[in-house]
Amino acid sequence: DKADNTETKDVIVMGTNAEFPPFESVEGGEYVGFDIDISKKIAEKLGMELKVENMQFSSLVAALQTKKVDFVAAGMTYTEEKAKEVNFSDNYFTTTQVIIVKKDNDTIKSKEDLVGKKIGVQAGTTGEEESRKIEDATVESYDAGYAAVMNLTNGNIDAVVIDQKPAERFVANNDKIMILEEELTTESYAIAVNKDNEELLNTINEVFKELHENGEYDVLYNKYFGE
């Protein structure tokens, strides 16, 4: 089976949902982003060719379990729930969930104001989980974060809860919306692998260690998040 023996194959398959800039998106027909570059480093370390499988974010855990993909690099937040289903690498990025609203809205100034409101999220994300905890809120799940943002702009929903970095991208491209100062949660991203694939997990952690030691992590960080 393809994911069982990473030594003898020349292609390693990374699963992602490329609707999450600057971690992963499609530009000019190419997969680009921080996670894509990290995945290339992992493939390089293994001496393999990287193949990217783009799918719904909510399908990624199952794709790992069925060995459709070897690892997932998708700005995926480490959660205890997911850690029961897949193994996570060391954390490689710490961030927050933020609230996006329309600039001309005058009812939502903080998290408390989301009570009873319509909140848009990307399906299967921690943003969805957090939003479902908000009292009396109606949570609308979309396939992609930008679809939630479009519905916010159109006035179909009152707010969007999403990860900070993609939120910054969406806001930079849309002068009708803004990010509230108050953040919802702090989370850490990690790469996920099948529970069976201890070896790949170790390699990924080694790659992270090397990237930190040789300064390449900082180079990548500045490429995508630097001012």
If the CB atoms of residues 46 and 52 are measured against ligand ARG, the closer one turns out to be 52
Q: Does 37 bind ligand ARG (CB under 6 A)?
A: no
In the complex with ligand ARG, the residue whose CB is nearer, 75 or 120, is 75
Give least dist CB 57 to ligand ARG, A.
Answer: 4
Q: Which is nearer to ligand ARG, 12 or 167 (CB)?
A: 167
Nearest alpha-carbon partner for 98 in 181, 169, 18, 157: 181
How far is residue 66's CA from residue 1's CA, in Å, rounded to a whole number?
Answer: 10
What CA–CA distances, in Å, run from 175 to 103, 161, 170, 203, 226? Answer: 8, 18, 9, 43, 21
Tokens found for residue 88: 């996570």
Q: Determine which residue in the list 12, 14, 15, 16 makes contact with ligand ARG, applying CB under 6 A.
A: 16
Q: How far apart are the first and last CA of the chain?
A: 44
DSSP, collapsed to helix, strand or coil, labels residue 222 as helix
Residue 163 found at the interface with ligand ARG (CB under 6 A)? yes
170: contact with ligand ARG by CB under 6 A: no
**CA atoms of 191 and 134, how far apart (whole Å):** 28
Shortest distance in whole angstroms from residue 117 CB to ligand ARG: 20
Q: Is 24 in the site for ligand ARG (CB under 6 A)?
A: yes
92 binds ligand ARG (CB under 6 A): no
Interaction site with ligand ARG (CB under 6 A): 16-17, 19-20, 24, 57, 74-77, 122, 125-126, 163
